[in-house]
């Protein structure tokens, strides 16, 4: 598509200008809260450990040694940013391009913009409060009173909905899920029920924080101290759209190592491939990462909702690849 033709570009220029105001507002929000903006490399030894994500792989050439080295474009700057927490930085954020292969739709681009932020000596409830402040400040800066997607809206200035995963299944699918359900049962529930029934009404009317996932879906989050069957993980929804994924961060290197192995075994089972583990990250955890909360939020999706458009391409400067 010749997006650069003036008559074509003009159709989305106002949305791109809105996107620019939005990103400026995001930076202002975190700068005002005392966060430090950081930059970490997009090329990493390991792209991440999510079993159902796909990465872009490349080779680093070393002519002097006549060797090559496999590297990946990151699917998240998470590992690198957590190393900065270990190094002693207390409150950090990063706005960066992120890369995930096999993702292209009205809601996905294989290259997209993300903000990721972390608070040391904090938990996931502190990150929830950050989300409320951020979505309200962005709406004000963009001159909108609500976020919109298709026929749905979400008022960030209203009282937010806080809903546990167990409560959401009962409310929207009529399923009383046992907290002791197996990992396979939760996997089936996610694809068969959550995506079809539970997700769509989340964040309609007001943003929704969906929290306390089963520990089998913990990823890099720690178990809840009062009930180890659940993990300190939440997702942020507006207008039925997932905007962010957050954790009360796991700091136990031994447990994290075992989770990585289990995730890669699942990736091999489903896709016949695995990714290398970032052992330097595990060494950093072993050295000692403070109790922390962290989150990744999709800037492009937030811009979509601020503009009220249904297509992610409308808020990307040069369109999707």
pLDDT confidence of residue 148: 98
Q: How far is CA 61 from CA 43, 56, 71, 72, 75, in A?
A: 13, 16, 10, 13, 22
| Residue labelled with tokens 């016949």 | 272
Pairing of strands 161-164, 208-214: parallel
Place of tokens 């096999």: 102
Tens of each residue's pLDDT in the chain, 321 residues: 688 899 889 999 999 999 999 999 999 999 999 999 999 999 999 999 988 899 999 998 876 666 788 999 999 999 999 999 999 999 999 999 999 998 778 899 999 999 999 999 999 999 999 999 999 999 999 999 999 999 999 999 999 999 999 999 999 999 888 777 777 777 777 778 888 889 999 999 999 999 998 888 888 899 999 998 899 999 999 999 999 999 999 999 999 999 999 999 989 998 998 899 999 999 999 999 999 999 999 999 999 999 999 999 999 998 877
Q: What is the pLDDT at residue 2?
A: 82
Q: Across-strand partners of 293?
A: 119, 248
Residue corresponding to tokens 């496999």: 70
Judge whether 241 and 149 are in contact, CB under 8 Å: yes
DSSP-derived secondary structure for 189-232: HIIIIIIIIISTTTTSBS-EEEEEEEGGG-TTBPEETTEEEEEE
CA dist 209 and 154 (Å) reads 13
What pLDDT does residue 184 have?
Answer: 74
| Under 8 Å between Cβ of 255 and 223 | no
Work out whether strand 91-99 and strand 111-120 pair parallel, antiparallel, or are unpaired: antiparallel
Distances (CA, A) of 80 to 52, 92, 118, 172, 281: 21, 12, 12, 37, 8
What is the 3-state secondary structure of 51-107? Answer: CCCECEEEEEEECCCCEEEEEEECCCCHHHHHHHHHHCCCEEEEEEEEECECCCCCC
Helix, strand, coil shares, percent, the chain, to 5? 40, 25, 35
How high is the pLDDT of residue 115?
Answer: 98
Provide the 10 A C-beta neighbour count for residue 5: 9
**Alpha carbons 195 and 230: distance in angstroms, whole number:** 20
Cα–Cα distance measured from residue 163 to residue 234, given in angstroms and rounded to the nearest whole number: 10
| Distance in angstroms (rounded) separating the CA atoms of residues 103 and 54 | 8
């Amino acid at each position: 598509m010749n997006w650069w033709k003036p008559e074509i570009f003009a159709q989305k220029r106002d949305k791109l200008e809105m996107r620019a105001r939005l990103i400026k507002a995001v930076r202002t929000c975190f700068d005002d809260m005392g966060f430090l903006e950081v930059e970490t490399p997009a090329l990493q030894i390991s792209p991440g450990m999510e079993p159902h994500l796909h990465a872009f792989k490349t080779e680093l050439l070393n002519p002097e040694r006549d060797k090559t080295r496999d590297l990946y474009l990151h699917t998240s700057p998470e590992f690198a940013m957590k190393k900065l927490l270990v190094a002693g930085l207390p409150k950090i954020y990063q706005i960066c391009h992120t890369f995930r292969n096999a993702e292209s739709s009205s809601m996905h681009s294989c290259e997209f913009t993300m903000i990721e932020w972390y608070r040391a000596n904090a938990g996931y409830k502190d990150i929830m409060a950050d989300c409320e402040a951020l979505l309200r400040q962005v709406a004000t800066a963009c001159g909108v009173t609500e976020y919109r997607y298709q026929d749905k809206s979400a008022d960030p200035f209203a009282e937010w909905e806080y809903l546990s995963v167990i409560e959401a299944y009962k409310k929207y699918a009529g399923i009383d899920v046992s907290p002791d359900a197996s990992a396979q049962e939760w996997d089936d529930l996610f694809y068969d029920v959550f995506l079809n029934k539970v997700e769509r009404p989340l964040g309609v009317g007001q943003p929704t924080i969906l929290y306390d996932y089963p520990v089998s879906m913990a990823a890099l989050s720690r178990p809840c101290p009062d009930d180890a069957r659940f993990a300190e993980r939440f997702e942020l929804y507006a207008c039925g759209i997932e905007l962010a994924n957050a954790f009360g961060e796991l700091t136990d290197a031994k447990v994290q190592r075992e989770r990585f192995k289990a995730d890669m075994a699942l990736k091999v089972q489903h896709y016949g491939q695995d990714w290398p583990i970032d052992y330097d990250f595990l060494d950093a955890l072993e050295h000692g990462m403070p109790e922390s909360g962290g989150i990744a939020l999709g800037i492009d999706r937030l811009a979509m909702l601020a503009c009220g458009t249904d297509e992610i391409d409308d808020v990307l400067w040069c369109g999707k690849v």
